[in-house]
Amino acid sequence: MSAAIQNLETIVIETSQPIKQSVIWLHGLGADGHDFAPIVPELNMNNTRFIFPHAPLKPITMNNGYEMRAWYDLFGLSMQHKQDEAGMREMQKNIEALIANEVAQGISESKIVLAGFSQGGAMALFTALRHPKRLAAVLALSTYVSLKEKLGEEANPANKDVPILMAHGSFDSVITLDTCLVSRNLLESLNYKLEWHEYPMAHSVCAEEIDDISRFLSKVFKAE
């Protein structure tokens, strides 16, 4: 089914009833909510609502203004490029609205995971680490910490100990492993609980990674 929350259309998959927990999963640049929906059966998660929002269409500076689905504008792929802070903060409010919608349906924040791939992963980290109530966990796949110089001062203590699974491909040429390692080191320096996985793949997802995600989700939901 589809719904619109603050202009974000979503795909919603419920694995079995009753729904006890939720995963909000943000796709990468140029994709849409359909991108990760097919892996839900492989995760073997009962009683779970998966929400896959479609990012709005935006002109992307890095791609000569070509319009595509994006959580915020991109000026380049290195950390030295300008970052779209205003776009990130605007999108943070939309993702917070998705979280609030789950809470309104009876799912506590401690049973909600924010997940994302690439630009979606950056947005998941950006939102989760600033969220004022403890979430269940964060999945940060093939991604990085955006506005990294502001995280220390803006991070909310409520999610200081939120479990983070960070996974990356050693052959990633889109968001390089070195870029990701800078973000991993930053999170570790701020004492976040980080589970790190590296796979011999490019900017993608592999079967071993899906198995690791399944184990991680099972662990964090049982722990709550």
| CA terminus-to-terminus distance, the chain | 28
Q: What number of other Cβ atoms are within 10 A of residue 149's Cβ?
A: 10
Phi and psi at residue 178, to the nearest 5°: -60, -40
Q: How far apart are CA 62 and CA 11, in angstroms?
A: 28
Active site residues: 118, 172, 203
Q: How far apart are CA 217 and CA 43, in angstroms?
A: 9
3-state class (DSSP) for residue 201? coil
3-state class (DSSP) for residue 19? coil
H or E segment to which residue 87 belongs = helix 85-104
Instruction: List all residues 6 or more positions away from 222 whose beta carbon is below 8 Å from its beta carbon.
Output: none
